[in-house]
Amino acid sequence: MTHPTDPNATQIDSYDVSVPLEYQPPMGQKKVGQIITNITVWLLPNQDHDYVLDVESSTFTGDDEAVDNNTASTMYELTSLKGVDEGVDRGYTNCPENCEQQAQATVYVKGCVERDGSGTATSFTPCSGGWAYRTLGVCCPTPPGDTNIDVLDRTGPTCSGGCEETWGAA
């Protein structure tokens, strides 16, 4: 595996993140599931760290309706946020106290995917179109609390032929 844009980047870690997926049907109880996806961390020559989501590694548990009623964009935006949060915990991304001067992290994902199956048997296969990315802003204000992570930018290819984008807004 190579970094999506920098052939000089070095893979330094890989871990799975689990993110809850929810769906509230018009009538009845809220449905809850989760997506588990592998994230690879890359060290760039400038000492920054990038994150790469592996859509083909994604697995699902919980209620089928929670999986079926969330878009790939929602799933991978939530996964991006959780993956960078874990990266902060592991020391890969700085977390300044001043949210006016956020650290930035880039998360790559295949821009277009084909969804196969349904419910917890869902799988994603990359389509043509290349990589997409999100730039996330990170800060840790005091008093200590949760890490603040915001999507600053997102871009990716146009998807067609039954392929679903992974990089849109959640």
Give residue for tokens 């400038």: 46
Place of tokens 């990038």: 50
Q: Structural domain tally of the chain? A: 1
Considering the domain boundaries, does residue 4 fall inside one? Answer: no
Residue 41, in any domain of the structure = yes
- Kindly state whether residue 76 falls inside one of the protein's structural domains: yes
Q: Where does residue 7 fall: left (phi above 0), alpha (psi -120 to 50 degrees), or beta otherwise?
A: alpha
What's the pLDDT at 125? 97
Residue 91 lies in a domain: yes
Is residue 1 domain-resident? no
Contact criterion met (CB below 8 Å) for 139 and 103: yes
Give me 44's structure tokens.
């760039």
- Report the pLDDT value the prediction gives residue 170, as an integer from 0 to 100: 76
* Domain interval for residue 92: 10-165
Dihedral angle computed from the Cα positions of residues 71, 154, 80 and 29, in that order, rounded to the nearest 10 degrees:
-30
Q: What is the mean pLDDT of the chain?
A: 95
pLDDT tens by residue, 120-145: 999 999 998 899 999 999 999 876 66
Q: Is the pLDDT of residue 43 over 80?
A: yes
pTM to 2 decimals? 0.94
Q: What is the pLDDT of residue 144?
A: 67
The mean per-residue pLDDT over the stretch 70-76 comes to 97
Q: Which residues of 140-150 are buried (b: 16+ CB within 10 A; e: fewer)?
A: beeeeeebebe
Domain assignment of residue 5, yes or no: no
3 lies in a domain?
no
